[in-house]
Structure 1
Amino acid sequence: MFKSTYLLKSFGELSVDPEIALTNNKPTFLEFYAEWCEVCKEMAPQVSAFKDEYEKDINFVFLNVDNQKWGNYIQKFAVNGIPQVNLFDKKGNLISTFIGKQDEIKIRESINNLKKEEKPYEEIINDEFSKMKENKNNEVSPRSHG
């Protein structure tokens, strides 16, 4: 689990800026996550492997829900449980949403369809996810990665 936690903590640094990602004419994989989220930790190695495999053709954006900097995105995409993955076509249109723990095969198929400009799964919600914690002070901590 240490490797998963380390990977998750590095997501903010590996992320493409969302404003750039949604306007640079490449499809986008956007994940909302938190360091305390157990399902996020479980999925981190696979998500990291997808990033390594597909980042040439697809933007990978990782937004930590504990960082108030991303509050507008959290509201815009109605993030209520994490991990939440939104897939966007190259024009920045939201085409698919995954909430909770996802099967590697479904995600891979959706990413491949996104790359080929075919419509992936619309919405897949798994009941295995973490409820978002409310940040009552709206503070950004040193560990909230950007």
Structure 2
Amino acid sequence: MIKRFNRIVNSSRPVLVDFYADWCVPCRLMPPILKEVKEEFRKHVRIIKVNVDHYPDIATNCKVQNIPAIVLFQDGKIHWSGKGVQQVSDITIALRDIL
């Protein structure tokens, strides 16, 4: 999974990663927010989810210590990250900065 994850985030197309856990109540608030972001940026960004309980090594490599966490990658570099429940407007601003 680490190789696949690295291949995805090393893309020139921006990748928004939602780090979550099944037991995390605030994490359950993110899917509708990300769905709204996806509707606006469908052609420009890829959105993936990473369960930190299943892939703790990926979370550690991305310096994710709290969840939910949203991390925006492009060309393998972190361009923006937010911890806690993020608003659509904050994610949109981050995406527009790199598009």
Query: Which residue does 1:37 correspond to in 2?
Result: 24
Listed as ranges, the matches of 1:1-146 within 5 Å are 17-67=4-54, 70-89=55-74, 91-114=75-98, 116=99
1:35 is aligned with what amino acid?
D
Task: Report the 3-state secondary structure (helix = DSSP H, G, I; strand = E; otherwise coil) of the residue aligned with 1:102.
Answer: coil
Q: TM-score, normalised by structure 2?
A: 0.82
* Cα contact 1:21–1:61 (8 A) shared by 2: no
State percent identity of aligned pairs: 25
Conserved 8 A contact 2:21-2:52: yes
Larger Rg: 1
CA RMSD of superposed structures (Å): 1.7
Letter in 1 for 2:38: K
Give 1:96 deviation, angstroms.
1.3
Shift of 1:18: 2.1
Q: Flag the 1:86–1:71 CA change in 2: closer, same or farther, 3 A.
A: same
Shift of 1:49: 2.2
Aligned to 1:11: none
**Hey, what's the Cα distance between the residues in 2 that align with 1:104 and 1:60?**
14
CA displacement at 1:62 relative to structure 2: 0.8
**CA displacement at 1:32 relative to structure 2:** 0.4
Structure 1 residue 86: Cα displacement? 0.9
For the residue of structure 2 that corresponds to 1:18, the secondary structure is helix
- Structure 2: give runs of 5+ residues left out of the alignment: none
Provide the TM-score with structure 1 as the length reference. 0.58
Q: Is the 8 A contact 2:37 2:88 kept in 1?
A: no
